[in-house]
């Protein structure tokens, strides 16, 4: 698993790569290898841009893009496979399961949108912009959002406690100062250690094994 800027992630397995949420805060992705598909958790531009999709599709034409209905409406011209909570998709060598359904509340004045969390091979989980917990699953590695307009650090702590993964790293972090990121990481570290898990500190471009 490789972390890029903000919410963008790459999962590699058996020579294939799955790309998740390359958005406006993420530099152009290079050296992706053989891309099997793309997952977009929701329609906000910090999680997808046409430029990112165009670059990926130019290098890997015809690969599937999985996303909730809101993304399909926000991305006309792209062939989107719509997924919703409870769906399971086989994209060899990846098995994908989707959870949640709604973006976390930012403010009552801002309309709610679709959001799905994605569980990859029953080991890696990323919730998108939500605190959706994958039920009946022992998560090996959790990507936990640490900074966002909708995020309160106490809720992020409770999310990690609820998932109780073997390991966690902080993502969704480009809106934070270095001081704020450091404080957020410390809180997530405390939370995962309550279940005897490990906190992994990843900078953009860093990778860890599942």
Q: What is the CATH number of the domain that holds 96?
A: 3.60.15.10
Residue 79 covered by a domain: yes
The pLDDT value recorded for residue 136 is 87
Distance CA 127, CA 151 (A): 13
Q: Sheet holding 2-3: strands in order across? A: 2-3, 9-13, 16-20, 34-39, 65-67, 80-82
Residue 76 covered by a domain: yes
Residue 103 covered by a domain: yes
3-state secondary structure of 93: coil
Residue 89 covered by a domain: yes
Residue 206 covered by a domain: no
Distance CA 53, CA 11 (A): 17
Structural domain range at position 41: 2-201
Q: pLDDT tens track of the chain, all 210 residues? A: 999 999 999 999 999 999 999 999 999 999 899 999 999 999 999 999 999 999 999 999 999 999 999 999 999 999 999 999 999 999 999 999 999 999 999 999 999 999 999 999 999 999 999 999 998 899 999 999 999 999 999 999 999 999 999 999 999 999 999 999 999 999 999 999 999 999 999 999 999 999
Is the pTM higher than 0.85? The answer reads yes
Residue 208 covered by a domain: no
Residue 97 covered by a domain: yes
Residue 207 covered by a domain: no
User: What domain count does the chain have?
Assistant: 1
């Amino acid at each position: 698993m490789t972390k890029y800027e903000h919410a963008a992630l790459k999962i590699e397995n058996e020579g294939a790569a799955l790309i998740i949420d390359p958005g406006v805060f993420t530099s152009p992705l290079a050296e992706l290898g053989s891309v099997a598909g793309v997952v977009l958790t929701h329609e906000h531009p910090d999680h997808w841009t046409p430029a990112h999709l165009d670059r990926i599709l130019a290098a890997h034409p015809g690969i599937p893009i999985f996303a909730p209905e809101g993304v399909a409406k926000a991305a006309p011209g792209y062939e989107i496979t719509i997924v919703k909570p409870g769906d399971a998709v086989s994209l060899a060598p990846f098995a994908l399961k989707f959870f949640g359904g709604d973006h976390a509340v930012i403010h009552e004045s801002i309309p709610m949108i679709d959001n799905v969390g994605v569980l990859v091979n029953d080991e890696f989980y990323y919730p998108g912009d939500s605190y959706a917990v994958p039920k009946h699953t022992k998560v090996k590695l959790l990507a936990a959002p640490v900074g966002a307009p909708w995020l309160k650090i106490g809720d992020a702590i409770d999310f990690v406690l609820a998932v109780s993964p073997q390991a966690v790293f902080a993502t969704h972090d480009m809106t934070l100062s270095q001081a704020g990121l450091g404080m957020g990481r410390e809180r997530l570290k405390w939370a995962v250690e309550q279940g005897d898990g490990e906190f992994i500190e990843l900078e953009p471009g860093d990778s860890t094994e599942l």
